[in-house]
A = this chain, B = another copy of it.
Amino acid sequence: MHILVTNDDGITAQGLLALAQAARSIPDTKVSILAPDRNWSGGGHVKTLDRPLRVKETILADSIQAFASDGAPSDCVALALLGFFETKIDLVVSGINPLPNLGHDVTYSGTVTAAMEALIWDTPGIAFSLGSVENHLNIQDFTPAASIARRVIQSAIENGIPDGTLLNVNIPYLPEAQIKGFRITRQGLRVYRDRLDKRIDPRGRPYYWIGGDSPTGTPEAGTDVGALADGFVSITPIQLDLTMYTAIPTLGNWKF
């Protein structure tokens, strides 16, 4: 079982190291690491076509070999699945993102779109994120999340992820003993609270921040948002058919 580990926070992120170590601790696995050389958070599902990509060999903080690319997370996955490594990749794991990826976050999220890219190439993918909050960014302990990630990866290897599906896993930011269990969920409702923040630069010209507050969510039962709010690991099966099937008959009555 050859596992690719990637992320969207970049090769130096603590969450990548934690996930790589979790994957390596599973018996009979070979782990390769190829991740962006910088932070791509909120960078979406990218295919870089108009410039070539560079890949540099490096080591993680535990002295293990890794590769850093100047592409997006999904580019790293494409590089790996199209043959950068000599042996075939059997599973792509992405993360551990320090902030959760819930509801509509999935199309923005570099962590999740890395797993989407795996799905495009018929390879199972799992995205891992930690249900932390913004101001915990620098004091993260990834130990409980890494242990949970190990259990999810092991179960995915044993059971096999259903075809055409990736797993979007969000883990409560709690000591492992306080995590109440695992829930299989649907994508919930994210509530974005962005505001446009117009400022004037020292030369008198305007610039614009997409600012405002961190997103919240509607903690409905059965959803990713709800599971995380209740202290459960949320595992959402995600697919790439975005068709709104129920709208097809309605649109069929339109005249053009």
User: Chain A: residues with CB nearer than 8 A to chain B?
Assistant: 39, 41-50, 52-55, 72, 74-75, 78-79, 82-84, 104, 106-108, 113, 116, 120-121, 151-152, 155, 159, 162, 164-165, 167, 182, 184-187, 192, 194-196, 199, 205-210, 233, 235-248, 250-256
| A167 to chain B: closest residue by CB | B251
| A184 to chain B: closest residue by CB | B251
For the complex formed, measure the closest distance between the CB of A153 and the CB atoms of chain B, giving whole angstroms. Answer: 10
- List 5 interface pairs A-B (beta carbons < 8 Å), by A numbering: A44-B45, A44-B107, A155-B254, A159-B253, A186-B248
* Pair B108/A244 contact, Cβ less than 8 Å: no
The docked-state distance in angstroms from the alpha carbon of A207 to that of B55 is 7
* Pair A243/B238 contact, Cβ less than 8 Å: yes
A43-B44, A184-B251, A196-B84 given as contacts; is B256 within 8 A of A151 (CB)?
yes
* Pair B237/A196 contact, Cβ less than 8 Å: no
Interface residue from B44, B184, B192, B246 paired with A120 (Cβ < 8 Å): B192
| A44 to chain B: closest residue by CB | B44
Inter-chain pairs besides A44-B107, A162-B246, 7 sampled, C-beta below 8 Å: A41-B50, A52-B207, A84-B208, A184-B252, A186-B248, A187-B243, A235-B251
A46-B43, A82-B210 given as contacts; is B237 within 8 A of A247 (CB)?
yes
Residues of B contacting A43 in the complex (Cβ-Cβ under 8 angstroms): 44, 46
Residues of B contacting A49 in the complex (Cβ-Cβ under 8 angstroms): 41-42, 210
* Pair A45/B242 contact, Cβ less than 8 Å: no
Residues of B contacting A72 in the complex (Cβ-Cβ under 8 angstroms): 44
Residues of B contacting A252 in the complex (Cβ-Cβ under 8 angstroms): 184
